């Protein structure tokens, strides 16, 4: 029976007790990311537990800046920090494009191992942070509330930001191409912080470089076609522009109505989303009702991949996730009849 496919951002993650056990065994978050066996194990966990239609590589968006030598650390309860943030022209000139088969080879290695273990059960999605989102962490030195350092750079030295983003776009493309060569079935670019920009800045500093990534991707490899997905949190205003980049699908956050988004982008792209991750704190019956609303909002036909509007929160009850996934299985066939 035809139905809407479903997966979930951060589906391999802290809300799962089996994930927490492996994470503890790994000792640190980065140990988990850089160990292909453990990364493979946690990637498969949600696929073993739920009726999901895709696996997504377990990794972090900041692997590229780490490979560039910025010294990524995760301090408990503090989020990511870079030992060597990028602040000056000299810092940016010095950056190179990391060879994904050198310092990042743990990622294609994990992809190969996951594909061996998945044995075609479901497709595997690979991913990277967007150039803009990587740049924000690299310049701010970690997470930020207001992104004042990189924005000051945009206002005062835009050419420097372009130099940084150019290097990052080439790095992201090489990184995703290595994942493609290793066997991923689809590639997603996460632009977590594009929504913090003005409209003009978004086009110039975020979307243009997401497109530069796309143009360098090997989207056809030995007869395989690799669909691409672009997700900008807070990017609802810019869907038309995003739909023109050539990405095959757009990820939607929960603010945007998926029905209105579909009207705006037509059949140029597929749409992925967009249940509010906070809805998963509600009761299973309330979750089921929300799933139904989103399916109905998208309406009949193909081109919808059900997902959350952002990553699942770490303290969500795994049974609530199950309620969401089962509701997609139960309610979506009527929209494909």
Contact residues for its own copies (CB under 8 A)?
A: 146-148, 151-152, 155-156, 195-200, 234, 236-237, 254-257, 260, 276-279, 281-283, 286-287, 289-290, 293, 297, 313
In whole angstroms, how close is the CB of 219 to its own copies at the nearest point? Answer: 31
Q: Which residue, 48 or 78, is less far from its own copies as judged by CB? A: 78
50 is catalytic: no
In whole angstroms, how close is the CB of 278 to its own copies at the nearest point? Answer: 5
| Greatest Cα-to-Cα distance within the chain, rounded to the nearest angstrom | 59
The CA distance from 313 to 280, in Å, is 9
The CA distance from 258 to 270, in Å, is 11
10 is catalytic: yes
- Note whether 273 and 309 are within 8 A (CB): yes
In whole angstroms, how close is the CB of 191 to its own copies at the nearest point? Answer: 14
Evaluate the CA torsion angle 138, 140, 143, 146 in order and state its sign: negative
Residue with tokens 């940084």: 164
23 is catalytic: yes
Could you write out the DSSP letters of every residue in 36-87?
A: HHHHHHHHHHHHHHS--S-EE----TTHHHIIIII-EEEETTTEEEESS---
Kindly name the residue from 15, 19, 50, 60 that is annotated as catalytic: 60
Q: Which residue, 66 or 253, is less far from its own copies as judged by CB? A: 253
Kindly name the residue from 10, 212, 219, 288 that is annotated as catalytic: 10
60 is catalytic: yes
**Could you give the C-alpha distances from 335 to 123, 298, 304, 308, 330, in angstroms and in order?**
23, 9, 10, 19, 11
Kindly name the residue from 137, 175, 202, 247 that is annotated as catalytic: 137
Kindly name the residue from 3, 14, 20, 264 that is annotated as catalytic: 14
105 is catalytic: no
Q: Which residue, 221 or 237, is less far from its own copies as judged by CB? A: 237
Q: Which residue, 116 or 199, is less far from its own copies as judged by CB? A: 199
In whole angstroms, how close is the CB of 60 to its own copies at the nearest point? Answer: 20
- Note whether 36 and 44 are within 8 A (CB): no
Q: Which residue, 126 or 236, is less far from its own copies as judged by CB? A: 236
Residues involved in catalysis: 10, 14, 23, 60, 137
């Amino acid at each position: 029976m035809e139905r809407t496919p479903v997966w979930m951002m951060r589906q391999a993650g802290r809300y799962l007790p089996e994930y927490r056990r492996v994470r503890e065994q790994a000792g640190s978050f980065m140990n988990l990311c850089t160990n292909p066996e453990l990364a493979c194990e946690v990637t498969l966990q949600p696929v073993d537990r739920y009726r999901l239609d895709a696996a997504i590589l377990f990794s972090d968006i900041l692997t590229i800046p780490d490979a560039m030598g910025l010294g990524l650390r995760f301090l408990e309860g503090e989020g990511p920090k870079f030992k060597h943030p990028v602040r000056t022209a000299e810092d940016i000139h010095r950056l190179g494009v990391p060879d994904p088969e050198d310092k990042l080879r743990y990622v294609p290695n994990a992809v190969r191992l996951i594909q061996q273990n998945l044995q075609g059960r479901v497709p595997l999605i690979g991913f990277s942070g967007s150039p803009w989102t990587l740049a924000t962490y690299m310049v701010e030195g970690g997470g930020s509330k207001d992104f004042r350092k990189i924005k000051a750079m945009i206002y005062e030295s835009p050419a420097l930001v372009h130099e940084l983003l150019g290097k990052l776009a080439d790095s992201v493309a090489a990184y995703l191409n290595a994942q493609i060569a290793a066997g991923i079935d689809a590639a997603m670019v996460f632009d977590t912080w594009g929504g913090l920009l003005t409209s003009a800045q978004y086009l110039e500093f975020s979307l243009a470089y997401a497109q530069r990534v796309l143009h360098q991707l090997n989207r056809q490899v030995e007869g395989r076609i690799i669909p691409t997905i672009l997700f900008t949190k807070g990017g609802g205003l810019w869907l038309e522009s995003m739909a023109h980049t050539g990405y095959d699908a757009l990820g939607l956050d929960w603010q945007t109505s998926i029905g209105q988004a579909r009207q705006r982008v037509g059949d140029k792209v597929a749409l992925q989303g967009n249940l509010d991750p906070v809805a998963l704190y509600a009761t299973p019956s309330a979750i089921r009702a929300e799933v139904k609303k989103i399916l109905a909002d998208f309406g009949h036909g193909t081109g919808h991949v059900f997902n959350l509007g952002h990553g699942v929160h770490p303290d969500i009850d795994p049974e609530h996730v199950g309620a969401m996934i089962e509701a997609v299985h139960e309610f979506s066939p009527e929209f494909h009849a």
